[in-house]
Amino acid sequence: MGIPEYFTLETLYLENVEMTNIKENFFRGLTIKSELRASNYKLCCPQILNPNISVDKCHAPVDVISSCKHLVGDILKRITIWTVGLITVVGNGIVLVYRIGWNREIFKKAYGLFVSGLAVSDFIMGVYLLLIAAVDSQYKDIYVLEDVKWRHSVLCQFAGFLSTISSETSTFFICLITIDRFLTITFPFGQHKFTKTGKIFSFTLVWFFGFLLALIPITSTELNIYSSNVLYFMCWFPVGILGFLSLNGHTFDREVYAWIAVFVMPINSALNPIIYTVPIIIQKCLMQIRL
């Protein structure tokens, strides 16, 4: 759909009108005297408008994630993604190096195997965050012109795959770790625990379902999940909780959802090494000092 050239209008309302193939100078030749209203924020971007249409006259909802210039529109969110991404990759990378290089005996226990699986899941989340941050830098100042290309690219699909498999497997591994700790505390003499076969089966099952859930949006042509900017960053559990509360009359600003998406889920991946591995490393160091 295009806009006729060399028209002068008092007002133009494009609310609830689906616009596709929005390109640079989309409104070329059109003059609007009073106001332009649209449902898509991209139509109010300077790159899309022309000199005869003032940005001040254009009104559209602000996207909670992206802006005209950036994939991640808010500078604070961009800093958060870079920071949490780096901490997540480095922290979980250290966990994997420690467990594989210096503490392989831990793999004989269900707890050690599950925590290592969790570290891999969280490391993937860090890679995903850095990928999004890198794409944001690549499309700096011109994102609105590359939006459709990016959201339908193979790299975008891959990023969505990483995000989903990390989120799902991380949740599953935390559940398994919780079950293992419960059995250990409740049955200290090992009456009930994960057997060797049981832990390997559980570990494999987590990755199988993780891959399966991450592949569904890619293989299904009817689902368009990975091309949605908002769902890119979504952590399903907290967003689901907010959705449930909304049904009960609670209202939340759109910015709340954005910060949950950008911060809550990724920070969990960054903190897991501190929760599950750092205390063990500190304990071993203290034991060696005493010796």
Domain ranges of the chain: 7-59, 75-290
Most trustworthy range by pLDDT among 61-75, 89-103, 176-190, 197-211: 197-211
pLDDT tens per residue, range 260-283: 666 666 788 888 888 877 777 777
Cα 221–Cα 149–Cα 4 angle in degrees, nearest 5: 105
Distance CA 82, CA 70 (A): 14
Q: Of residues 193 and 285, which shows the higher confidence score? A: 193
pLDDT at 235: 39
pLDDT at 232: 43
Nearest partner of 269 among 135, 180, 168, judged by Cα: 168
Q: Of residues 120 and 247, which shows the higher confidence score? A: 120
Q: Of residues 130 and 108, which shows the higher confidence score? A: 130
Kindly state the percentage of the chain with pLDDT values over 90. 23
For residues 102-115, average pLDDT? 82
Distance CA 45, CA 277 (A): 47
For residues 72-76, average pLDDT? 85
pLDDT tens per residue, range 224-262: 555 554 444 443 444 455 555 555 665 555 556 566 666
- Identity of the residue numbered 232: Y
User: pTM value?
Assistant: 0.79
pLDDT at 4: 56
Task: Decide if 38 contacts 15 (C-beta within 8 A).
Answer: yes
Task: Report the mean per-residue pLDDT for the chain.
Answer: 80
User: Going along the chain, which residue ranges are E strands?
Assistant: 7-14, 30-38, 58-59
For residues 166-188, average pLDDT? 90
pLDDT at 237: 45
Nearest partner of 113 among 212, 208, 195, judged by Cα: 195
CATH of 75-290, one of 3.40.50.720, 1.10.10.60, 3.30.300.30, 1.20.1070.10: 1.20.1070.10
266 class by beta-carbon count within 10 Å (0-12 exposed, 13-18 middle, 19+ buried): buried
Q: Is the pLDDT score of 190 beyond 80?
A: no
Task: Decide if 68 contacts 45 (C-beta within 8 A).
Answer: yes
pLDDT at 12: 82
